[in-house]
Each structure stands twice: as C-alpha cells, then as structure tokens.
Amino acid sequence: MRLVFFGAPGVGKGTQAQRLAAQERIPQVSTGEILRESVKQGTALGLQAKGFMESGKLVPDDVVIGLAREKLTGQECSRGYILDGFPRTVAQAEALDRVFQETGSPGLDHVVSFDVPNDQIIRRLSGRRSCPTCQTVYHIDHDPPKLEGRCDKCGGALVQRVDDKPETVESRLKVFDQQTSPLVAYYQKRGLLRRVDSTGDINEVYRRLLKVLGLAGV
C-alpha cells in the first residue's frame, strides 16, 4: 500500500502514520528523514542537499524529488510506504507523478487528509508547555503538571515556545491552507483523496483511518 498523509500542524498525522506503518510493516517516509539519510550516506544528491542545508537555504524541489525517487524505488519501499507530509504543493505532486511514470513504479493508492478545525488545532498547540531544563513537554488540558507552571521531573519553570503561541500557530495554519487547498483539489480530481476526522481520541481516529483505507485493525 502506497500512501500520502497530510494535514495541518497538530492534527496528529505523524502519530497515525507511525502506528499504521508498524501494523502494515511498511516504512514511514518524511522529507526530513530522506534528507538526513542521504547526507549521512554521502550520496551525490545528499551532498547537494547538505550544501543548501548548511547555508541555511531551503533544499530545492528538484533535489528533494530526486531523493524521494531514490528512496521510493529502493528495496525498503517495495511493499509500500507512507509519505508523511510530502508532497506539500501541486508542483511537488506533479513531479512525484512523473517519477512513477518514468520508473514504471505503481502510483499512489490513497492520499489521506487528516482534518481538525483550526480553533481546535490552535488550542492543541498553544496549550503546550515545555521545560527548558529537561525538555519534558506538558499540555495544560490533557497532560498538565502536578504544580501549575512547574516541571514534575526537575521543578523547572515551564515556558510556552514561540512556535506554540496562538498568533504563531494561526499564521502557520494560514500558510498551510494556502499551500494545500490546491493539493486537495489535485488529488480529489484523481479520485485518491480520503478524509479522516482527526478530532477526539487517538484510538478512535485510528479506527476511522483503517475504515477509509479498507483495513482491519489489530
């Protein structure tokens, strides 16, 4: 089974991808993992990517697609894979389709969109609190510290990261919506899009995911 998972920050797609990958015994593949692996192996494309990363620049699409091509056509992905958060744009999706055509590889079976209302995402992410000393992360709603504002493990003062502030989360969501709305339409037109309500309990979300994919649970 060859899948793409995408969704806004905080929808829990990474958790669901990890769980499904373990059940189906297929790799969970992210662009970050592909980049780190290629740099570590010192491949030609990996060295190109390293140059951009070390200079603080975004790795161009053609390099990312080339790395994805190497990964997805390798033995590890022969039984299937879950692409986690990639492609992010229509241009990347079109390039990925060309990879399938040029290599004779089977195309995607499903593209899963994990949907959560923006106000809930903002609450999920802005409720995080972290300890700068021991890196423990809490949530004011469903995993609060025993003493408000203090870490259970080391007693350090908890802080809210800049990335987790409501205004920052809202800005990230706007960017995500702008990027992915065309991508949703792209895959919907091809009959590949599957939507999963990602609100509520993690186990319930997983059951919904299995249902849309036509899979049995464990």
> 194 in helix, strand or coil?
strand
Q: Which domains does the chain have, with CATH numbers?
A: 2-26+79-213 (3.40.50.300)
Phi, psi of 2 (to 5 degrees): -115, 115
> 22 in helix, strand or coil?
helix
- Could you read off the pLDDT tens digit of each residue along the chain, which spans 218 residues? 999 999 998 899 999 999 999 999 999 998 888 888 888 888 888 888 888 888 877 788 888 899 899 899 889 999 999 999 889 889 999 999 999 999 998 999 999 999 999 999 999 999 999 999 999 999 999 899 999 999 999 999 999 998 899 999 999 899 888 888 899 999 999 999 999 999 989 999 999 999 999 997 65
Q: Distances in Å between the alpha carbon of 33 and those of 30, 66, 87, 92?
A: 5, 14, 14, 17
Active-site residue list:
13, 88, 128, 161, 172
Phi, psi of 112 (to 5 degrees): -105, 125
Which secondary structure element, helix H or strand E, spans residue 111, and what is its range? strand 110-115
Distance CA 190, CA 168 (A): 34
Structure tokens at 31: 């662009």
